Copies of this chain bind each other. A is one copy, B any other.
């Protein structure tokens, strides 16, 4: 009896991330993923039932990691300002490391908008993301550290602010350190552009 090749599933996932990031969902051919792994196309289908399943596995894997790190950063930091800074910095750093995932994440938002794709796990992860941020905002408001804004819709704005900035950075080649972007983004978020 032969043992299943250890780490094969992870190898495929990693190759898929590269190819999906470069070619997009529609542009990706399973053959290319297999080539990137140095295995045959059929082997991919021994580990993932379909292209769709592989795609979702890729997206969810990155999302989980992002969520995990964001949550940890929030727990470790003190005060509303500190928590927001930590949240933003963590995400800037994560996307700096995982640029392939960011490309997929970015394009997935657009995809999910035109064709409602009810992947339960991903919906949950995204909502959890918003929820954790909303909680911080509500605390900040009740402590009088923040203006009484609508916490939920502001949470969405913050997620998109970070995404927007990361996209900018990737488009024009990353020049600054995440730490510098943090100051810029945070002052925009905290003080606005007025006065």
A-side residues, CB < 8 A to B, are 20-27, 81, 103-104, 106-111, 113-115, 137, 140, 145-147, 149-150, 153-154, 156-157, 159-161, 163-165, 167-168, 170-171, 184, 187-195
The answer to whether B168 and A164 have CB atoms under 8 Å apart is: no
A103 partner residues in chain B, CB cutoff 8 A: 113-114
The answer to whether B161 and A157 have CB atoms under 8 Å apart is: yes
Closest to A170 in B: B113
Tell me the complex Cα distance, A146–B193, Å: 6
The answer to whether B110 and A191 have CB atoms under 8 Å apart is: no
How far is the CB of A150 from the nearest CB of chain B, in Å?
7
How far is the CB of A58 from the nearest CB of chain B, in Å?
13
How far is the CB of A129 from the nearest CB of chain B, in Å?
14
Tell me the complex Cα distance, A25–B111, Å: 9
The answer to whether A153 and B184 have CB atoms under 8 Å apart is: yes
Q: Which of B106, B108, B147 contacts A191 (CB 8 A)?
A: B147
Closest to A152 in B: B168
Task: Name 23 A/B residue pairs within 8 A (Cβ), A-sorted.
Answer: A20-B114, A22-B114, A23-B114, A23-B115, A27-B115, A104-B114, A108-B110, A109-B110, A110-B111, A140-B193, A146-B194, A149-B184, A149-B188, A156-B165, A156-B168, A157-B161, A157-B188, A160-B161, A164-B164, A187-B192, A189-B194, A190-B194, A191-B191
A164 partner residues in chain B, CB cutoff 8 A: 156-157, 159-161, 164
